Amino acid sequence: MPTLLETIRTPQDIKAFTIPQLQQLAQEMRKAITDQVSKTGGHLAPNLGVVELSIALHYVFDFGEDRLLFDVGHQCYPHKLLTGRLPLLGKLRTREGMAGFPEPRESSYDLFSVGHAGTGISTAVGMARGDTLNKEAFDPETNPAGRRVVTIIGDASIVNGVAMEGLNNAGTLKRQFLVVLNDNGMSISKPQGAVAHYFDRLRLSHFYSDFKKSAKEALQGLPGGETIRETYHMLGEACKAVANEGAWFEHFGLVTVGPIDGHDLPRLVEFMREARDFNRPMVLHVKTVKGKGFEAAENDSTRFHSPPAFNMTDGDLDQEGCRVELKTEGRSFTTAFSDALYDLMEHDAKVVTCTAAMPDGTGLNKILPKFPDRSWDVGICESHGLDMMAGLAKTGWKPFFAVYATFLQRAFDQCFQESSLQGLPVRLCLDRAGLVGGDGAVHHGFCDVAILRTLPNAALLAAADEPSLRAALEFMRTYETGLSSVRYPRDTVSERLIDQVCPPFVLGKARCLTPKHDLLAGKQAPDVAILGFGTLVMTGMDAAAAVAGGIDVGVWDARFAKPVDRELIKALLERGVPIITIEDHSIIGGFGTAVLEAAQELGLDGSHITRLGLPDAWVYQDSRAKQLAEVGLDQPAIVRAIREAAAKRGAGVMAK
């Protein structure tokens, strides 16, 4: 006998379910999501928190025609299960299975591929305006079968600057438009700022839901038919006005309803039905519990926001006291960075730091309680965070901004205007640089070098391992000429060079990892030179050791994408040594491009430079190892590049 979840092919299948069946479906969905994430990792707590909300939305609306837009998107698993994607769940976050974020390539029910916060309201406003211009919008009088628009946003994302801009425009719409505020008191960690405190206060009041429930129960005992319903509706509208007088969203021109219990399915369905036909912009404030239904995730929703695979012992999801053990693969760059920055702050009292809602993901969770006056979580506000760091730099402090490479893009204008243009030394610590694995295209950090390289006096560094990460941070601490950055991946740190002394970073100088080829120290030239920017230099060393045929390969840790080591490039090319550049970054505008440009500026032949990097194409979800192999950045691909470069050099020598 199939479960209810197994019978769902489209959202239309749940419309015949009774409320008790919907509640059973919610239990089945929670179990399916938790079981799968325990095997593969993925976003767990955010998805468990929106199960009933997702069911109620699909039960009331028809998103085959209506519009449903997600903000961030890491709470989309229940939506995907309700739109017939249970068969894809078994290969979650792989190319053959279900993406971890909304993905239009996967289903017409996913309208945008999204993974950055704050965008949902604005794109929803655009679709609402487009449907109106196309004469396809819902109107209770002229087009009752028209399209409705719904967007879901979290309480932490609502403070993002783009979300504020979207709200400002949503209030000008003259049609139905529903913003569902999923308020769970958390982003990835505890939300920050004045608006978060406002929601904390609002959660304490159950005035609206309690008042309306009492009013409905009282009216049920009175005669009257349609009059009763009209009276109830009028009372409900009056209640909304009283409950939300002076409510925050009202200032944007949006009627505000709630907060209501986001796990009370009957109540959710009731409110959704009213909101569906309300022909004005509305915010429905829904209170949910992040990690709902899984004790470990409810108790530590930050740890279980996006956990790796884990084991459940002494019971399972439905049993109290279930113990959970997260699987680990080794020491991460995030942990290495956290320890290094901690030591830096102990050593230098002028060092300050902040993160944008990612204290756990960037490693600042260890630093915030130790240095409460010199470290901050500013919430999902990267632009503000960068500007704040610039202000600190202006007043003589040494700011380090810990941010995912993919989210740095949101603060590029501030990198340009408030940091670089002013000559202020803001320091960027870019976690998740390069390919990120299961999170896929929305989270790859593939263009930080390309955009930052345009800024005068910027120093762009990459770490190859933990000692070099520490050395990079120390260099940045004393670099006062302009903006600086260091990039490192979502990966474990290599111990390949652990027994070697890591020399300090010197501006624009590479480190030779094959001492016999240290040309600048008068050593012999190799047959082929590898210049690796970041952790892929380790893969380059593996490839150099594995290549056959007597090819002598020299390997350099490039360290800098700006400025590059022009002296080394000149020494190699003047000796006719082919250069292979390797980077976990876009081939366009990255480190390899900087090497080519340097060769041209030096008047040297760049035809012997081979660039290996991320292609001019999107790389979708899968393991990081598979993604690197796909784009030609694994050991076999680098071995092939070495052989081709050596053969080309040999042919050139023969021709001469």
pLDDT per residue as tens digits for the range 179-228: 999 998 754 445 555 444 444 444 434 433 443 444 344 334 434 434 33
Q: Which CATH class is domain 333-487?
A: alpha beta
Mind giving me the DSSP string for 221-255? TS--THHHHHHHHHHHHHHHHHHTTT-GGGGGT-E
CB 152 within 8 A of CB 70: yes
**Which of residues 327 and 287 earns the better pLDDT score?**
287
Inter-helix orientation angle 161-170/120-133, to 10°: 30
Check if CATH label 3.40.50.970 holds for domain 5-287.
yes
User: What does the mean pLDDT of the chain come to?
Assistant: 88
Euclidean distance between CA atoms 432 and 430, whole angstroms: 7
pLDDT per residue as tens digits for the range 481-514: 999 999 999 999 999 999 999 999 999 999 999 9
pLDDT per residue as tens digits for the range 537-561: 999 999 999 997 889 999 999 999 9
pLDDT per residue as tens digits for the range 81-96: 999 999 999 999 999 9
Comparing 14-23, 187-196, 380-389, 622-631, which segment has the lowest mean pLDDT?
Answer: 187-196
CATH, domain range 511-655: 3.40.50.920
**Which of residues 300 and 274 earns the better pLDDT score?**
274
Residue 144 has pLDDT above 50, yes or no: yes
Confidence of residue 403 (pLDDT cuts 50, 70, 90): very high
The secondary structure element, H or E, covering residue 23 is: helix 19-40
Share of the chain above pLDDT 70, in %: 87
pLDDT of residue 219: 38
pLDDT of residue 250: 81
Residue 465 has pLDDT above 70, yes or no: yes
Euclidean distance between CA atoms 537 and 530, whole angstroms: 8
pLDDT of residue 224: 41
pLDDT of residue 206: 43
Mind giving me the DSSP string for 58-102? HHHS-TTTSEEEESS-TT-HHHHHHTT-HHHHTTTTSTTS--SS-
Confidence of residue 323 (pLDDT cuts 50, 70, 90): low
Confidence of residue 377 (pLDDT cuts 50, 70, 90): very high
pLDDT of residue 184: 85
Return the domain boundaries, the chain. 5-287, 333-487, 511-655
Residue whose tokens read 């009056």: 238
CB 433 within 8 A of CB 488: yes
Comparing 27-31, 256-260, 499-503, which segment has the lowest mean pLDDT?
Answer: 256-260
pLDDT of residue 253: 86
Fold identical between 333-487 and 511-655? yes
Q: Which two tokens stand for residue 505?
A: 């970073």
Confidence of residue 239 (pLDDT cuts 50, 70, 90): very low
DSSP single-letter state for residue 433: B
